[in-house]
Amino acid sequence: MILVTGGAGYIGSHNVIALLDAGYDVVIFDNLELGHIETVNTLKNINSKGKVVDFIKGDLQNLEDIKSVFQKHKIDAVVHFAAYSQVAESVKNPQKYYFNNVYGTLNLLRAMLENDVKKIVFSSTAATYGEPVYVPIDEKHPQVPINTYGKTKLMIENIMDDYDKAYGLRSVRLRYFNVAGADSKNRVGEWHDPETHLIPNILKSTFSGGKTFQMFGTDYPTKDGTCVRDYINVEDLASAHVLALKYLENGGATNYFNLGTNEGNSVKEVFSACEKVTGKNIPLDVKPRREGDPATLIADNKKAKEDLGWFPEKSLDESISTAYSWESKLTENCKLGV
C-alpha cells in the first residue's frame, strides 16, 4: 500500500492514477483545503487493475491524523505532495508555509519512522535553485531559493538527508519545473481557486467572454524576446514518481532529480499554442519587464533519464489540448451545478 499525501490535488491525483496503473494499492491522505472530494470519488471509481483506493481526511499538522493512517493500513512507501505552493503568498505569510510544509512533513516522517516505513518520494521544486546562474539547470546548480516556498522545500530536502544518515530513511526528491496539462482521459486535471498558472488562466478566459492578458517584457535575450520556461506534462511527471518509487524499492540510495523537458517555450509560444488549440484569438497587452523574472528557466534532465530511465513524451500542444478538455468539462459542470 502506497500512501499519497495531497492525493486529491492536481499533481497528486495524476500520480494516484499512475500508481494504480502500475499495480499499486493506494491510500490518499488529504485535508481537502486545496484538493477536492470529487477528485477522490473519481479516483475511487477508476478501479485500475482491481487495485484498492482508500481515502482518509486529515491534516499533516495534526500528528494524530497521520498516525491513524499507519494504524489502519500497512504502508510500504510514501509519495508526498501535500504542501502550500503559491510563491507570492509564501512571502506575505511565511509562518503559514513553515508550519504546513515543514512541520507537516516532520510529522509525516515521525509517523513513518514509528512504523518502520523508510521509503519516500518527495515533491520538490525548481524554486530551490533560486535565480539561475546558468541554463539548462542541472542538479549541481547552487540551491539558493529567493522565496519562502522554495526555502521550505529546500529545508525539507536537507531534513531528509539527515533522516537518511541517522535513520536509514531513503528519499527521492523530484524538482519540478512548470507543470501543465491534464489526464488524457479527462478524469482529473488542474482545479485551483484562485488559479495562478498561466495556461489554465488563458484557457479559462476563452469560456468567459475573453480577457486581455498582460505580457511582461518582450526584450529579453531569448528567441522572440519573451521569457522562456520549461513546461513538463503532468502525466509525464506522474510516471517519474512511479519510476522513483521503483528505484527505492530496488535499493536505490537517497537522490534528487530535475523533472523538465530540457527544452523551453516562450510566453509568446504558449499564447500561440493556446490560440491554436482553442481556435480563439486571445488579446494581449504588452507591459515592461517585471523585476525578478529570469529570461530563461530550463531543466537539464539528463540525470533522470540515466538513473530513473525517465523520458518526457508529451509536447506543449498535447498538454494544452488536455488542459483545454478539462477546462471545458469544469465549465460545463459548473453550468449544470454539478
Give the end-to-end CA distance of the chain in Å, rounded to a whole number: 32
Catalytic residue among 97, 149, 176, 231: 149
Look up residue 213 and give its DSSP letter: E
Residue type, position 292, single letter: G
Give the up-direction half-sphere exposure of residue 5: CA atoms within 13 A in the CB hemisphere. 31
Per the annotation, the verdict on 134 as an active-site residue is no
Q: Bridge partners of 231?
A: 178
Residue with cell 486535471: 189
Among 124, 134, 115, smallest CA distance to 161 is for 124
Burial 229-246 (b: 16+ CB within 10 A, else e): bbbbbbbbbbbbbbbbbe
Nearest to 9, CA basis, from 242, 160, 244, 179:
179
Strands (E) across 20-76 are located at 26-30, 53-57
Extract the runs of DSSP E, i.e. beta strands, from the chain: 2-5, 26-30, 53-57, 77-80, 119-125, 170-176, 178-180, 213-216, 228-229, 231-233, 255-259, 265-266, 284-287, 296-297
CA gap 138, 335 in Å, rounded:
45
> For residues 135 and 298, what is the distance between their CA atoms, to the nearest angstrom?
6
* 258 HSE (CA, 13 A, CB side): 27
**Where in the sequence numbering do the catalytic residues fall?**
149
